[in-house]
Amino acid sequence: MSTTPDSPNGSGRTGPLPAGTQAPEFQLSTTPDQRVSLSDFRGRPAILFFYPADWSPVCGDQTALYNELLPEFRRFHAALLGVSVDGVWCHLAYAEHRKLHYPLLSDFEPKGQVARTYGVYRLPDGTSERALFVISSEGVIHWSYLSPIGVNPGADGILNALEELAARREPQLKEKK
Amino acid sequence: MTHGKLTLPVSGRDHTLGPANAPATLLEYGDYECPHCGAAYPVVEALRERLGDILHFAYRHFPLSQIHPHALLAAEAAEAAGAQGEFWEMHDALFTHQDALDGAHLKLYAAAIGLDTGAFQRDLETQAHAGRVQEDFMTGVRSGVNGTPTFFINGLRYDGSRDFVSMYAVIAEVAEASRRAAVR
């Protein structure tokens, strides 16, 4: 991991890393005995979504919506990763209750470090912002979006970004043939 | 990006109530098992009654089937009834019986409405209308639908409060603006 972009006052409010930035590598726990790295998904697009907390009503809609859209994301071979500062046991209970079929990562210790690195830590709340990143198969941020904290950003922006990435790859694949 | 603009306008493909040339069109993306949609149902009914010919109402399916295990089948049941010309009767039955949406109950509603229950049952078993439900769902996703219910008023997502007074005020204003634009 390279330097952590952080504002001088330590608030971390630098805004989400913009398109064209190399996505900072991280390794986070998804279960008590399982860790996930961003580089595990190199070679396919990754959807990284930060949300403030498990169990809060708006997040509920958002995590449920993405759960419904897994087949759609799969068409783009995209990996879906949710990140919040909640601990792994909380994530496990939440994912089981909501029947979520994708990993929730725990940005728990040091708290919010990955959110800070991506410019989406929220003080004084001590949670991440509600932010979306679509990362290319080469590990570059293709699209990022910061949503108002109380508004579920939906999925249209994610799907548009995945389509752009797919369109960019197609000509290359044709050339290889 | 996410401005909540409807990508597929309300048209002849949709289930609608009220005149197509009404100055205001209210579109709902809903889930028959969703309690918030259940709470919005009488509000929509009251809006339709109060606004009369001013309002064109359309309903599209947005079943969140992972959290609402009966939502998808219920949506297909509404479509199966629609295939027999009784979409809205089933729509009403589903929203007034949100806690009883299993296959056996759906069949009871079909019989009560007077549907050909054999054809109804066949449609459900062969998932004859699953494609239509999925199409509704995806048009919602591409339009920025982020949960249920989501309303669009004349093609723009309505993010305000879902009570009668708030919705009535916005719809009446939109209707008035669209009338004035038509006169010009």
In a domain? residue B7: no
In a domain? residue B46: yes
Q: Which of A5-19, A56-70, B22-36 has the lowest mean pLDDT?
A: A5-19
In a domain? residue A116: yes
Give the residue, B147 or A113, on which the prediction is more confident.
A113
Say if B158 is an interface residue toward chain A (CB within 8 Å). Answer: no
In a domain? residue A141: yes
In a domain? residue A100: yes
pLDDT in tens, A135-171: 999 999 999 999 988 888 999 999 999 999 999 877 6
Number of domains within chain B: 1
In a domain? residue A107: yes
pLDDT at residue A89 tops 60: yes
In a domain? residue B4: no
Catalytic residues of A: 59
In a domain? residue A15: no
CB atoms within 10 A of CB A99: 12
In a domain? residue A66: yes
Among chain A residues, the shortest Cα distance to B147 is held by: A61
In a domain? residue A85: yes
Residues of chain B with pLDDT under 70: 1-3
- Residue B91, domain extent: 15-183
Say if B65 is an interface residue toward chain A (CB within 8 Å). Answer: yes
CATH number at residue B43: 3.40.30.10
pLDDT at residue A176 tops 70: no
| pLDDT at residue A171 in the model | 66
Q: What share of chain B is helix, strand, coil (3-state, %, to 5)?
A: 50, 15, 35
CB–CB of A69 and B146 under 8 A? no
Q: Of A144, A148, A135, nearest to A16 (Cα)?
A: A144
Say if B142 is an interface residue toward chain A (CB within 8 Å). Answer: yes
In a domain? residue A23: no
| pLDDT at residue A121 in the model | 97
| pLDDT at residue A59 in the model | 60
Cα distances (Å, whole numbers) of residue B170 to A162, B154, B162: 35, 11, 11
| pLDDT at residue A1 in the model | 38
User: Predicted confidence band at A175 (pLDDT cuts at 50, 70, 90)?
Assistant: low
Spell out which chain A residues touch chain B, with contact meaning CB-CB distance below 8 angstroms: 61-62, 64-65, 67-69, 72, 98-101, 145, 147, 151-157, 159-160
Separation CA A78–CA A70 (nearest Å): 9
Give the tokens for residue B26: 């209210």
Residue A61, Ramachandran bin (φ over 0: left; ψ between -120 and 50: alpha; else beta): alpha
Separation CA A95–CA A138 (nearest Å): 29
Number of domains within chain A: 1
- Residue A63, domain extent: 44-176
Residue B86 CA from chain centroid, whole number: 14
Say if B67 is an interface residue toward chain A (CB within 8 Å). Answer: yes
Q: Using CA of residue B45, residue B46, residue B52, residue B53, what is the dihedral sign?
A: negative
Query: Are the C-beta atoms of residues B29 and B181 closer than 8 Å to each other?
Result: no
| Candidates A56, A68, A99, A100, partner chain B, best to mutate (most B CBs within 10 A) | A68
| pLDDT at residue A61 in the model | 80
CATH number at residue A138: 3.40.30.10
The complex's ipTM works out to 0.80
